[in-house]
């Protein structure tokens, strides 16, 4: 590990003069990923020591697609027979790790919510196993629909109303972030429906959507999902007005894609 750190710092020293801050940002991500990979390897070993029936360990969520902004690491474990949940947590935190872990343990055969499964499919990495058990669940995943996208719009409005209801700034922030992220989710479902794809990788969606929808979807990722949800950089003094602006954009996005599908 020490050698890797030396090489990284040497790389920064050589490149920083030439291309400045951009390299610093990329370097930060590289350092985060190296620390993460090293820790996850140890975590997998500890989980397997605790439960020999584990068949797959999967990392998913923001630590895959936006490691720089991730607040924790999401891990999904598939096992033939689940043991006491506390034992899995103890196994994880027996490793000295600089981040929090959100763990989901699923016994094979148990049902997974479609919304959760889609969330895993957005961005995931197989840490242990072949991925065949995850993809078996995917085979039973229903096709995305415009109705699902519209339902997400309703859920987003529910979140923003909760944000307005609370005076506690932490609760307001949490619900406001969820509102913006759910708007993004609505756009993503609509795009998936239009393209008739189940695997909701953003790169594929961006690549295949026609203009102007391709550029619009890019904005939804960068602003709603990254800036507003992960970074929390949304206008705090006009939460409702800002939400309504984006709500109308997403609603129009869904309506136009649905119309083009007919």
Q: Indicate if 158 and 240 belong to the same structural domain.
A: yes
Domain that holds residue 257: 146-261
Whether 23 is covered by a domain: the verdict is no
Other beta carbons within 10 angstroms of residue 130's beta carbon come to 10
pTM for the whole thing? 0.64
Whether 125 is covered by a domain: the verdict is yes
Short-list 156, 151, 153, 119, CA closest to 137: 119
> What is the distance between the alpha carbons of residues 41 and 125, in angstroms, rounded to a whole number?
13
CATH no. for residue 52? 3.30.460.10
pLDDT in tens, 47-75: 999 999 999 999 988 777 666 666 678 99
Q: Indicate if 190 and 106 belong to the same structural domain.
A: no
pLDDT in tens, 176-228: 999 999 999 999 889 888 887 545 455 555 557 889 998 999 899 889 988 89
Q: Indicate if 127 and 43 belong to the same structural domain.
A: yes
Q: Indicate if 43 and 129 belong to the same structural domain.
A: yes
Q: Indicate if 176 and 239 belong to the same structural domain.
A: yes
- Cα distances (angstroms) measured from residue 253 to each of 6, 122, 181, 260: 48, 20, 16, 11
For residue 6, pLDDT over 50 is answered with no
For residue 24, pLDDT over 90 is answered with no
CA angle 31, 102, 234 (to 5 degrees): 70
Name residues whose C-beta falls within 8 Å of residue 44's C-beta, 6 or more positions apart in sequence.
57, 127, 128
Whether 230 is covered by a domain: the verdict is yes
Whether 85 is covered by a domain: the verdict is yes
Give the pLDDT of residue 33: 58
Average pLDDT, the chain: 82
Q: Indicate if 133 and 71 belong to the same structural domain.
A: yes
For residue 235, pLDDT over 70 is answered with yes
């Amino acid at each position: 590990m020490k050698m890797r750190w030396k090489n990284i710092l040497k790389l920064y020293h050589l490149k920083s003069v030439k291309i400045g801050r951009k390299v610093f940002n990329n370097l930060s991500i590289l350092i985060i990923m190296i620390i993460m990979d090293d820790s996850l390897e140890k975590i997998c070993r500890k989980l397997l020591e605790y439960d020999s029936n584990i068949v797959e360990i999967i990392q998913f969520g923001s630590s895959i697609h936006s490691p720089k902004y991730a607040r924790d690491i999401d891990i999904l474990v598939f096992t033939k027979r689940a043991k006491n949940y506390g034992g899995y947590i103890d196994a994880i935190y027996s490793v000295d790790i600089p981040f929090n872990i959100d763990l989901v343990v699923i016994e094979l055969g148990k049902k997974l919510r479609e919304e959760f499964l889609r969330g895993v499919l957005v961005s995931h990495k197989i840490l242990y196993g072949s991925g065949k058990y995850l993809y078996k669940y995917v085979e039973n995943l229903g096709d995305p629909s415009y109705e699902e996208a519209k339902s997400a719009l309703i859920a987003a409005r529910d979140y923003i109303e909760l944000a307005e209801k609370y005076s506690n700034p932490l609760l307001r922030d949490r619900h406001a972030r969820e509102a913006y992220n759910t708007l993004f989710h609505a756009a993503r479902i609509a795009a998936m429906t239009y393209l008739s794809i189940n695997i909701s990788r953003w790169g594929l969606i961006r690549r295949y959507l026609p203009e102007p929808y391709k550029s619009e979807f890019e904005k939804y990722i960068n602003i709603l999902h990254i800036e507003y949800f992960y970074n929390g950089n949304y206008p705090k003094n006009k939460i409702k007005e800002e939400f309504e602006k984006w709500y109308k954009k997403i609603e129009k996005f869904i309506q136009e894609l649905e119309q083009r599908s007919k």
